[in-house]
Amino acid sequence: MSRRLGVLGGTFDPVHFGHLDAADAARAALELDEVLFVPSHDSPHRTGHPHATAFHRFALVALAIDRRAGCRVSDLEVRRPGQSYTVDTLRRLQAAGWPPWQLYFILGADAFAEIATWREFPAVIDRAHFAVVARPGTTIEAALARTPGLRERVRPAAHAGVTGGPTAIFLVEADTRDVSSTAIRARLAARQPIDDLVPPAVARHVAAHHLYVESNLHGHDEDNPGT
């Protein structure tokens, strides 16, 4: 059997339980061997730059997944200056030896609803399988309604792991926690606790480095831009 690598990209500004829930749901439904978290350097779909530096956002993800089996973090995008595009990251992974049918790009239904705006759409769909995870506020059906031409590529999770052939879209129904990085930053700006929204190690790092306290916290949130 070929290995299956999940790829979860995003600004992670900061990482939270919603991200971890999506990774867990996709890994379980599609029997992924590993999930690679890829913090972006700068998202082209986000208004303004990330509030925390690439260093801190990478560190926060590393802390969030510490001792979580089958998870690791990559500096593939944070080391690359400028805006981060998913299609470029998938190319880099393929150059490293991962064929498209072994890659599963994980994203929320809210991000998938905007996929027609991504760089090199629809060709980007051929670079990896896409695992679309249900998110509070956006159903998978609503996301598909925005791009009806992609329905023919939807496959049941049982088809995951098929080698060769065209890439597919796998729908992952799951109860992911209703958390956003915007809400976390707003709480921190108001000096409110975030312990119910992020792992303890993440909360400690944020507090120790006074992150998000004096930032401009009114930018558009793009937790999983998939750009």
Residue range 14-44, pLDDT digits in tens: 999 999 999 999 999 999 999 999 999 876 6
Please check whether residue 154 lies inside any domain of the structure: yes
Taking only the tens place, the pLDDT of each residue in 118-161 is 999 999 999 999 999 998 888 888 888 999 999 999 998 888 88
pLDDT of residue 83: 84
Residue 223's pLDDT band (cuts 50, 70, 90): low
CB 52 within 8 A of CB 202: no
Please check whether residue 168 lies inside any domain of the structure: yes
Provide the domain count of the chain.
1
Q: Map residue 91 onto helix, strand or coil.
A: helix
Please check whether residue 218 lies inside any domain of the structure: no
Q: How far is residue 211's CA from residue 214's CA, in Å, rounded to a whole number? A: 8
pLDDT of residue 137: 83
pLDDT of residue 24: 97
Mean pLDDT, rounded, for 209-214: 90
Phi/psi at 169 (nearest 5 deg)?
-115, 120
Q: Map residue 153 onto helix, strand or coil.
A: helix
Please check whether residue 62 lies inside any domain of the structure: yes
Q: Which CATH number covers residue 184?
A: 3.40.50.620
Q: How far is residue 45's CA from residue 107's CA, in Å, rounded to a whole number? A: 15
pLDDT of residue 139: 83
pLDDT of residue 114: 93
**Contacts by residues 188-193 (CB-CB < 8 Å, ≥ 24 positions apart):** 188/212, 188/213, 189/213, 189/214, 189/215, 189/217
Whether the predicted pLDDT of 215 surpasses 60 = no
Domain that holds residue 182: 5-208
